[in-house]
Each structure stands twice: as structure tokens, then as C-alpha cells.
Structure 1
Amino acid sequence: MKSYFILGMCFLFLVQYFVHFHWLQYMLAILAIIAFLGSITLARSVPRIFSIIMFVAGLVFTKLKGQGIDAVTQGITSNLPLLTLLVLVPLLSIPFKMGGFFDSILLYLKRYQNSPRKMFMGVTTVLFFLGPILNIGSIRIVHELLKDLRLNATFLSKAYLVGFSTTILWSPYYAAVGIVLLYLHVSIGTYMTYGFGVAVLFLLVGNVMFGIWTKKQSVKKENDQSEIITPDHQKRIKMLPFVIFSLMLVTIITESITHWSMLVLVSLLAIIFPVIWGVFSREWITLKQHLVDYREKAVPIMNNEIIMYISAGFFGASLKGTSFGHEINIFMINLSHISFLLFALFILITMVAVTFVGIHQVVVVTVLATQMDPIMLGTTKEILAMLLMLAWSTSSILSPVNPINLLVSSLVKKSSIEVGIRDNGLYLLIVCTIGITFLTFFH
């Protein structure tokens, strides 16, 4: 029942985006409040506490500004585009499951189980391509494919986080990119010039560093496994990047023509793509089963995300026009005028620090992005978006309570501190140095 309610709210948002009926805005706010209250008791303790605080603070700030029900409604629904994206994007994985792409990936990776550098490149590249479509689920899927190969835990820790961290930097299907572009009003086409290039650079850096690490560890000599690669598997592997980049291209071109929200476009594509796949494959029974699994397993577990995104959006909207929000803006402007490098380090360190104690990045990004004016800061909105994404990616790996870090640590059976700092700390230090230098130069 809860899944139907959440999906209904998302579909109603998509309808409201195009028809603009005022009463639909009120209905969406009511549905969002019900979803918030229904998820609050099922969420983890830290997200629950911060979500309640932000929601109450949003009500207080809105009241102090003398605003009425319209302001409350807009604040509560401000992050619904992002929440809709988060809920619907897993639908994109269904055609890849039906098409047997994951089986082909496993077969190729098995060939390199005794070739650490090739295996590392294979895993990180697979995550680079699958991460935009499958989100954090790509790590779990790749681990399921590799679990019988008995690979080294440190190897997996490095491969999973190096590969997936690049997704956070560039993918328009990832919620982090979505919220930053939403608040800074950046076109996905212009952002991709920065995001994709930096992501590829960081992927190469991670692979080079792993090559150096393997030499120090005296790992086995490369000895590729002879696996039979059938023409069907070869075809799927060649099709995979083509299909993914075609989806990206459709999103970018449609945005440039229609000027619709990128979050809405991706959400619509997540609905349409499985249907198109079903039409051409005619495997309607299989498609139906995957849709049932999605409804029963993927949607009901999003309690933390639902309460954090709704409350953070409300809190960020309520800060606009307050003295507290004004002080944040003035502080960052003064800091950027002293030194953009100092400003960039402040954003990075702040994001890592608050995430380290359990506060989700969406809170920090919502607060900062809603109060920042790129022109007043003396930079461009694309550079500012890239800086926030670099900080988001870094904090996702380092924070011992972040879902990505926690997932990897549980899969490789190591502590989250070991996974974040010991296994990937040097990599993060180097890519952050490169990233901030790059942004400072172009700034």
C-alpha cells in the first residue's frame, strides 16, 4: 500500500509539472506530509532526528517571516522533483536485467580474476557506466557478480569506491547532481562539459594509483582466464555503453529543446524506457515480474531519503529572506573575495565534517545552494556546481555513516573507517587537490 502511495505522489507531481493547477500543489503538499509522517518511524535514528529538526525549523522560519500556507506548500514540495527522480530511476535497470547485460559483464570480468590491474579497470569502468543507471544499486549488483571469485577485500574497497565516486560527479540520473543543478539553475548540457571530463580524469587517476599499489603489494602475475565469449555476449558488451550514452543524449537534447527540468525528463525516461523495451522484446510477463519486484522491494525501503529530502527542501526554502540565511550568504561572499581557494576548501571541509557525524549531504547542499549567488561570489554557476559535486563525492567515501561507505564496508567485511580513510584516503587527497586546482584555475 505504501509503494502505491509513493508512486502515486510521484506521478501526480509529473502531472502537476505540466498542467500547473494550483489545487494540485496543495494536494502534493498533503501527500508529501503524509509520506513524511509515514516514513519517519521507519527511518534510521540520525536521519529521523535531523529531519524532524529541519521540518520544525522550516515551520518556525516561515511563521517568523509572516508567510502563509502558500509558502509552506512551496517549501514542502520544493524537493519533490528530486524525490521523484530518486524513486523512479531504478526502473531504468529493468531493461538491462531483461537483456542479459549483467551476465555478459560477469563473463568478461571473470577473464581477469588473476589480472588485478585489468580486473580493477574492468570493475571501475563497469561502475562508471552502470552507476548512472542503477545508482548505489550498481555496487551491490557488481558484488553479486564477483562474490564467487574470492577477491581481496582491499581490492574491492578501492574498486567499488573509485568507480562509483566518478558517477556522483557527472551522472544526470544521480540525485546529487540533480539537486545541485536544480538549485543553481544549471543546464545538464553545460554541466557535462565539466562533470564528465573530471569524472574520466579521476577514473584514470584511480587506475594509475592502483597499478602502483599492486606493485608494492607483490600480487600475482597477470594470467588471463580463458573464458568462452559468445557472439551474443560480445554484442551486449558493445551495446551497453551505446545504450547508456543514447539515454544521456536523449536527455540532453530534449532539455535543450523543451527547457523542461532535467529531473522531470529523467523521471519520464525512467517510465518510458522499460515500456519501449517491452514493446520490442515482447517479454511482457518478465517485465511485469520485474515491475512487481521494483514495487515490493525498491520503493518501500526509501524511508531515509523521503524524510531527508522533504525536510531539507522545506528548511532550505524557509531560510530564504531570513537574517540567518543572509549571514551565510555574506560570509561566503567575503570568503570567496579573500580567496577562491579558501572558499573551495571551506565547502569541501564543511561537507566532509557534517557528513562524518551523520548529516546527509542534501542538507548542506540545500542550505548552501539556496543562499549562494555565483555572480556575487565572483564565479560561474557551473564551477560552483562542480565544487559542490566534488565535495559530495568525497564526503560519500570518507563518512563512516554514509550509505555508500556503509554498503561497501558491509560487502567487503571491513570497518567503514578502514574503507573510507585507509583504503581510499590517499586517492581522495590526490583527486581533491587536482579538482580544486582545476576549478581555481578555470574560476
Structure 2
Amino acid sequence: MKSYFILLMCVMFLIQYFVNAAWLVYILAIFATVAFIGSITLARTVPRIFSILMFIAGIVLTQLKGQGMDAVAQGITSNIPLLTLLVLVPLLSIPFKMGGFFDSILLYLQKLRNSPRKMFAGITIVLFFLGPILNLGSIRIVHELIKDLRLNTTFLSKAYLVGFSTTILWSPYYAAVGIVLLYLDVSIGNYMTYGFGLAVLFLIVGNLMLGWWARKQQWDTEATNPSEITAVHRKRIRILPLIILMLMVITIVAEFTTHWSMLVLVSLLALLFPIAWSLFSKQWGLLKRHLIDYRDKAVPIMNNEIIMYISAGFFGQSLKGSSFGQGISLFMNDLSQLSFLLFAVFIVVLMVSITFVGIHQVVVVSVIATQMDPVLLGTTKEILAMLLMLAWSTSSILSPVNPINLLVSTLLKKSSIEVGLRDNGWYLLVVCAIGIAILTYFH
């Protein structure tokens, strides 16, 4: 029942976006409030506490500014576009499951078993392309595919987080990119010039650093006998990046021609892509089974995300025009005018520090981005968006309580500190230095 309620809320947002009726905003706010209350008891302790505090603070600040129910409804629903994206994007993975693409990926990875550098490149590239579609599910799927190969856990920790962290930088299907572009009003076409280029650069850096690290390691080169790669599998591997590229192009072109929100376009694509695939493949029975699985397993587990996104959006909107919000804006403007390099380092360190104690990045971005004016900061919206994404990606790996770090540490049976700081600390230090230097130069 909860899954249907969440999905109905997402559909209602899409309708409201096109109808643009004021009364629908109130109904959407009621749905969001009910979803928030219903998810509170099922969420983890830290997100629950911070979400309740932010939600209450949002109400108080809105009332202190003398604003009415209109402002409350707008604040509560401000991050609903991101929740819609988060809920619907997993539907994009269904056609890939139906088409057997994951089986073909497994065979190719098995072929690379005895070459650490090629295996690392294979895993990171797979995550680079599948991460946008499957989100965290891409790590879980890749691990399920290769867990029987008994690879070194430090090797896998590096591969998983190097590969997935690049996804965070560029993918329009990832909620992190969505929230930054939403608040800064940046076109995905303009952002991709920076995001994709920096992501590819970091992917190369990660693979080069692994080559240096792997020379000191002892590797088990026990022969394996993977199944033969048939013409069907080779065809799937050739088609896979083309399909993903096609989805990206459709999103960018549609945004350019319609001027609709990128979040709306991606959400619509997530609904239409499985249907279009089934029309051509005639696999309606298989589609139904995957949809039931999505309803029962994917949607109900988003309690932490629901409460954090709704409360952080409300809190961020309530800060606009408040003395606290103006203080944040003034401080960041002064820091940027003093030194953009210092400003960039501050944003990265702030994001890492706050997420390290369990606060989700969406809180920081919702608060900071709503108070930022790129013109007053002396930079462009694209550079600012890229800086926030660099900080988001870095903190996702380092934070011992971040879902990405927790997933990898759980799969590999290692501590979160080992996975984040010990296994990937040097990589993060290098790419942060490179990223900040590049952004400062273009700034």
C-alpha cells in the first residue's frame, strides 16, 4: 500500500508540473507530509532526528517571516521533483535485465580475471555506465556477478568506489546532480561539458593509481574457465553503451527543445523506456514480474531518502530571506571574493565534515545552494554546480555512514573507515586537488 502511495505522489507531481494548478500544490504538500510521517518510524536514527528538527525549523522560520500556508506548501514540496526522480529512475534498469545485458557483462569480467589492471578498468567502466541507470544497485549487481572470483577486497573497494564516484559527477539520472542543477538553475547540456569531462579524467586517474598500487601486490592467478562469449553476448556489449548514450541524448535534446525540467524529463523517460522496450520485445509477462519486484523491493526501502529530501528542501526554502540565511550568503560571498581557491576548499571540507557525522549531503546542498548567487560569488552557475558535485562525490566515499560507503563495506565485510579513508583516501586527495585546480583555473 505504501508503494502505491509513493508512486501516486510521483505521478501527481508530474501532473502538477504540466497543469500548474495552485490547488494541486496543496494536495501534493499533504501527500508529502503523510509520506514524511509514515517514513519517520522506519528510517535510521540519525536521519530521523535531523529530519524532524529541519521540518520543525522550516515551520518556525516560515512563521517568523510572516508567511502563510502558500509558503509552507511550496517549501514542503520543493524537493518532490528529486524524490520523483529517485523513485522512478530504478525503472530504467528493467529493460537491461529483460535483455540479458548483465549476463554478458559477467562473462566479459570473468575473462579479465587474471589481469588486475584490465579487471579494475572493466569494473570501473561498467559502474561508470551502469551507475546512472541503476544508482547504488549497480554496485550490488556487479558484486553479485564477480563475488565468486574471490578477488582481493581492497582491490574491489577501490574499483567500486572509483567507478561509482565518477557517476555522481556527471549523470543526469543521479539525484545528486538533479538537486544541484535544480537549485542553481543549470541546464544539463551546459553542465555535462564540465561533469562528463571531469568524470572521465577522474576515471583515468583512478586506473593509473591502481596500476601503481597493483605492482606491489601479490595476485592469485589461478586459472578460471568462464563460459564462451558468443556472438549474442558480444552484440549486447556493443549495444549497451549505445543505448545509454541514446538515453542521454534524448534527455539533453528534449530539455533543449521543450525547456522542461530535467528532473521531469528523466522521470518521464523512466516510465516510458520499459514500456517502449516491451513493445519491441513483446516480453509483457517478464515486464510485469519486474514491475512487481520493483514495487515490493525498490520503493518501500526509501524511507531515509523520503524524510531527508522533504525536510531538507523545506528547511532550505525557509532560510531564504531569514537573517541566518543572509549571514550564510554574506560569509560565502566574502570568502569567495578573498580567494576562490579557499572558497572551493571550504565547500569540500564542509561537506565532508558534516556528512562524516551522519548528515546527508542533501541537507548541506539544500541550505548552501539556496543562499548562493554565482554572480556575487564571482563565478558561473556551472562552475558552482561542479564544485558542489565534487564535494558530494568525495564525501560519499569518505563518510562512514553514507549509503555508498556502507554498502561497499557490508559487501566486502570491512569497516567503513577502511573502505573510505584507508583504501581510497589517496585517490580522493589527488582528484580533489586536480578538480579544485581545474575549477579555479576556469573560474
TM-score, normalised to structure 2's length? Answer: 0.99
Following superposition, the deviation at residue 342 of structure 1 comes to 0.3
Answer yes or no: is 1:66 the counterpart of 2:69: no
In 1, Cα distance between equivalents of 2:256 and 2:131: 24
Q: Deviations over 1:166-224 (max 9, x none)?
A: 00000000000000000000000000000000000000000000011010114356988
- Name the counterpart of 2:91: 91
User: Any stretches of 5+ residues in structure 1 without a counterpart?
Assistant: none
In percent, how many aligned pairs have the same letter? Answer: 76
- Name the counterpart of 1:374: 374
Superposition misfits of 4+ residues, deviation over 2 angstroms: 218-227
SS in 2 for 1:438: helix
Following superposition, the deviation at residue 329 of structure 1 comes to 0.3
- Name the counterpart of 2:266: 266
In 2, Cα distance between equivalents of 1:60 and 1:370: 18
Q: 1:182 to 1:230 in 2, by over 3 A?
A: same
| Contact 2:58 2:318 (8 Å CA) reproduced | yes
1:33-432 matches, within 5 Å, as: 33-219=33-219, 227-432=227-432
In 1, Cα distance between equivalents of 2:218 and 2:80: 50
Following superposition, the deviation at residue 348 of structure 1 comes to 0.2
In 2, Cα distance between equivalents of 1:368 and 1:80: 18
In 1, Cα distance between equivalents of 2:70 and 2:130: 40
Following superposition, the deviation at residue 147 of structure 1 comes to 1.1
- Name the counterpart of 2:2: 2
1:289 counterpart letter in structure 2: R
Q: Deviations over 1:125-170 (max 9, x none)?
A: 0000000000011000000001111111001100000000000000
| Contact 1:83 1:309 (8 Å CA) reproduced | yes
1:311 counterpart letter in structure 2: S
User: Any stretches of 5+ residues in structure 2 without a counterpart?
Assistant: none
- Name the counterpart of 1:22: 22
| Contact 2:107 2:226 (8 Å CA) reproduced | no
In 2, Cα distance between equivalents of 1:385 and 1:223: 46
1:124 counterpart letter in structure 2: T
Q: Deviations over 1:361-407 (max 9, x none)?
A: 00000000000000000000000000000000000000000000000
In 2, Cα distance between equivalents of 1:225 and 1:144: 18
1:286 counterpart letter in structure 2: L
2:206 counterpart letter in structure 1: G
TM-score, normalised to structure 1's length? Answer: 0.99
SS in 2 for 1:423: helix
Following superposition, the deviation at residue 226 of structure 1 comes to 6.5
1:419 counterpart letter in structure 2: V
Q: Deviations over 1:97-129 (max 9, x none)?
A: 000000000000000111111100000000000
| Contact 1:106 1:146 (8 Å CA) reproduced | yes
Following superposition, the deviation at residue 32 of structure 1 comes to 0.3
Q: Deviations over 1:217-254 (max 9, x none)?
A: 14356988675110000000000000001000000000
